[in-house]
Amino acid sequence: MADVAIPRAKPQMSEDNAWTRLKHNRNWLGFWFMVPAMAFLIFFLAYPLGLGIWLSFTDTRIGRVGHFVGVENYEWLWDDSIFWLSVFNTLLYTFVASALKFAIGLYLALLLNENMPFKAMLRAMVLIPFIVPTVLSALAFWWIFDSQFSIISWSLKHLGLINQNINFLGDTTWARICVIFANIWRGVPFVAITLLAGLQTVSPSLYEAATLDGATRWQNFRFITYPLLTPIIAVVMTFSVLFTFTDFQLIWAMTRGGPVNATHLMATLSYQRAIIAGQLGEGAAISSAMIPFLLAAIMVSWFGLQRRKWQQGENND
Amino acid sequence: MTDLPASKVDLKSVLATPARVDNSEGMSYLQSVPRRLVTLYLPLTIIVVVLLFPFYWMALTSVKPDDQLLDLDRFNPFWTWNPTFKHFHKLLFESYYPHWLWNTMYVAICATILSIVASVLAAYAIVRLRYKGANLVGGLIFLAYLVPPSILFIPLATVVFQYGLFDSPLALILTYPTILIPFSTWLLMGYFKTIPFELEECALIDGASRWQILIKIVLPLAIPGLISAFIFCFTLCWNEFIYALTFLQSTSNKTVPVAIVNEFVDGDIYRWGSLMAGALAGSLPLVILYAFFVEHYVSAMTGAVKE
């Protein structure tokens, strides 16, 4: 046995330098562990991100390789009223939906944080709209907002509030309201449940102490809940703004940008131009134009709330 | 029969006692019942009803006979006394629906497994191997989480076309991980951080390799995290729309969300019954999965945000 073991040990010793070092060096090991994730992210995320910006400077169409045309696509967009309408729609959609999602979500989180029977079941039920695929619930809304057979119109008519069916998705203002409503409906559970998780980390003794000192419910919320919740609000709202701004599926399933482009967001417009009309370059320019807005939205919601937290911390000192 | 009310009361008091003992009622005794009714139960009921009504409507529409669907005057629209499974029958036996369900499931499971494997390795390396620049890579992965698919789908479509993956499920299996990996890496990093270093040190002293430590020590301890990541990734895949809409063309290859939007809406005659049946059948697998793993799901959602 010993005779066999010795010759075996030798090649191992000689390999030690190259192979074993690769195997045991932390940096190399780390590199090997990162390879699969990095491969995906580089080939299918970083590279396309760069490629998208490059495409926006070319006149590529589907089935035809493009040539560099400089900022021509952007010049086109600059004079394109539909593009500006979509920018306006996107900003309106993001702003209104995010603000209401935050308000309703926070309110719902505070309600769910109270002690009551069937608490766990209620929380589980509240999250269901977030679980169900957006497109499928959007279809349900499409049916609820149908121009002729809408259950809302029917109910309002029977309550005697209106005489005619409301043309929910055919009227520009109503269509915007409906789309924003559907987005809020889907986003509120996410905001509420994540804020609820934050609320549960707030120690009840703080409220008891404040109540003994004569604080009202509003003061409890304003001076205990809100400051302690600020960091998690910043993160949740950053995500919420980001996903609302880049929303695509809800609009596509409900209105496809209609009526008269009143609900076209930048994402849906870029899909229409790039994939349906085949103008890949122009579509890429629209989606690249989203990047600065996105960065700005992230900065505002992130640093805005961070700064407030810092200011409050300083005031307390 | 006479025993029933008595046992009910008994059970109630038994259930209520521990709540009083550990003071979980908090300060709610300060509020009177009518006040709680107005400030808590009423708004909560309204919100929950609004949140759940579309599902009720979806389910009701999918079992209503066609003549009741479009006639709101002769029948009460909020209920039906003669439910029919005609729409589901049509869905299952006269359309590609089972195909689409299978495609969605197949793509979601493959993409989820791929991304979980990649994220486990990446998260372990970032948290525990701490190679040079691990923090920077962690930050970059978080940034990748913030890149939305609606910016990427146009260039990705050209990439998919170049690689010859157009109209194949493989295109989705390979592109979905870009959405899933950043999320699950961050989630798993959080879980791995909670596993004590000492366990790994002991194993290292006993001569275990890094690989053995990961497989035999870290992963078994991180199973709740793995389940959370798996469920959340699976849901995200099932939900994904824009890539599936762009990269797939032939009817039989589509996933449920895309197929319902494109194939079930034919011209002006909306087939509401089968449309809603399709939407319901497409949501049910996720809702059932969710019902079994609520806690994991919530911890995935809040965990990723807290990090």
Angstrom distance (rounded) from CA A65 to CA B40 = 61
* A34: contact with B, CB 8 A cutoff: yes
Angstrom distance (rounded) from CA A36 to CA A42 = 10
**Average pLDDT estimate for A11-27:** 61
* Residue in B141, B150, B182 closest to A246 by CB: B150
Q: What residue ranges do the domains of chain B occupy?
A: 1-47, 92-306
Angstrom distance (rounded) from CA B307 to CA B304 = 6
Question: Nearest C-alpha of chain B: how many angstroms from A67?
Answer: 15
Domain with CATH 1.10.3720.10 in chain A: 74-316
Q: What is the pLDDT of residue B18?
A: 44
Structural contact between residues A266 and A90, judged by C-beta atoms closer than 8 angstroms = yes
Question: Nearest C-alpha of chain B: how many angstroms from A40?
Answer: 6
Q: What is the pLDDT of residue B13?
A: 42
pLDDT band at A317 (very low <50, low <70, confident <90, very high): very low
**Average pLDDT estimate for A168-189:** 92
- CB-neighbour burial class of residue B71 (10 A; exposed 0-12, middle 13-18, buried 19+): exposed
Tokens of B47: 């919100």
Given a cut of 70, the residues of chain B with pLDDT beneath it are: 1-29, 265-270, 303-307
**Average pLDDT estimate for A193-202:** 88
**Burial code of A224-254, b = ≥16 C-beta within 10 A, e = fewer?**
bbebbbbebbbbbbbbbbbbbbbbbbbbbbb
Mutate: best of B23, B30, B38, B51, partner A, most A CBs <10 A = B51
Q: What is the pLDDT of residue B14?
A: 41
Mutate: best of A249, A266, A273, partner B, most B CBs <10 A = A249
Angstrom distance (rounded) from CA B58 to CA B260 = 14
B-chain residues within 8 Å CB-CB of A274?
Answer: 154, 157
* B28: contact with A, CB 8 A cutoff: yes
For residues A180 and B96, which has the higher predicted lDDT (pLDDT)?
A: A180
Q: What is the CATH number of domain B92-306?
A: 1.10.3720.10
Angstrom distance (rounded) from CA B181 to CA A254 = 30
* Residue in A125, A139, A247 closest to B48 by CB: A125
Angstrom distance (rounded) from CA A300 to CA B4 = 60
* A252: contact with B, CB 8 A cutoff: yes
Tokens of B6: 């008595």
Chain A residue with CA closest to B133: the answer is A27
Strand partners, A64: A61
Cβ within 8 Å, pair B130-A26 = yes
What is the distance, to the nearest Å, from the Cα of residue B270 to the centroid of all Cα atoms in its chain?
Answer: 28
A-chain residues within 8 Å CB-CB of B238?
Answer: 133
* B156: contact with A, CB 8 A cutoff: yes
Structural contact between residues B212 and A75, judged by C-beta atoms closer than 8 angstroms = no
Question: Nearest C-alpha of chain B: how many angstroms from A1?
Answer: 23
pLDDT band at A19 (very low <50, low <70, confident <90, very high): low
In A199-238, the residues whose Cβ lies within 8 Å of chain B are 204, 207-208, 211, 232, 235-236
* Residue in A27, A128, A208 closest to B132 by CB: A27
**Average pLDDT estimate for A209-220:** 89
Angstrom distance (rounded) from CA A17 to CA A251 = 60
Angstrom distance (rounded) from CA B143 to CA B138 = 9
For residues A78 and B20, which has the higher predicted lDDT (pLDDT)?
A: A78
Angstrom distance (rounded) from CA A11 to CA B194 = 40
Question: Nearest C-alpha of chain A: how many angstroms from B243?
Answer: 11
pLDDT digits (tens, 9 = 90+) for B134-145: 888 888 888 888
A-chain residues within 8 Å CB-CB of B135?
Answer: none
* B157: contact with A, CB 8 A cutoff: yes
Which conformational region is residue B31 in: left (phi greater than 0), alpha (psi within -120 to 50 degrees), or beta? beta
B-chain residues within 8 Å CB-CB of A132?
Answer: 55, 283, 286-287
Angstrom distance (rounded) from CA A192 to CA B77 = 31
* ipTM confidence score: 0.84
pLDDT band at A1 (very low <50, low <70, confident <90, very high): very low
Chain B residue with CA closest to A65: the answer is B158
Angstrom distance (rounded) from CA B247 to CA B244 = 5
Q: What is the pLDDT of residue A71?
A: 86
Cβ within 8 Å, pair A48-B119 = no
* B273: contact with A, CB 8 A cutoff: no
Fold of A74-316: MetI-like fold (1.10.3720)
Angstrom distance (rounded) from CA B190 to CA B206 = 26
The alpha helices in chain B, defined as continuous H runs, are: 3-21, 33-36, 42-63, 66-69, 86-93, 97-124, 134-145, 149-162, 169-193, 197-205, 210-213, 219-221, 223-239, 242-247, 256-263, 272-292, 294-306
- Is a pLDDT exceeding 70 seen at residue A250? yes
Question: Nearest C-alpha of chain B: how many angstroms from A139?
Answer: 7
Chain A with chain B: Cβ pairs closer than 8 A:
278
* B105: contact with A, CB 8 A cutoff: no
Question: For residue B42, what are the contacts with CB-CB under 8 A and spacing of at least 6?
Answer: none
* Residue in A33, A128, A236 closest to B305 by CB: A236
Angstrom distance (rounded) from CA A215 to CA A224 = 10
* B62: contact with A, CB 8 A cutoff: no
Q: What is the pLDDT of residue B11?
A: 42
**Burial code of A286-298, b = ≥16 C-beta within 10 A, e = fewer?**
bbbbbeebbeebb
Q: What is the pLDDT of residue B75?
A: 75
**Average pLDDT estimate for A228-255:** 87
Q: How far is CA A186 from CA A83, A189, A191, B284, in A?
A: 26, 7, 10, 17
SS3 A20: helix
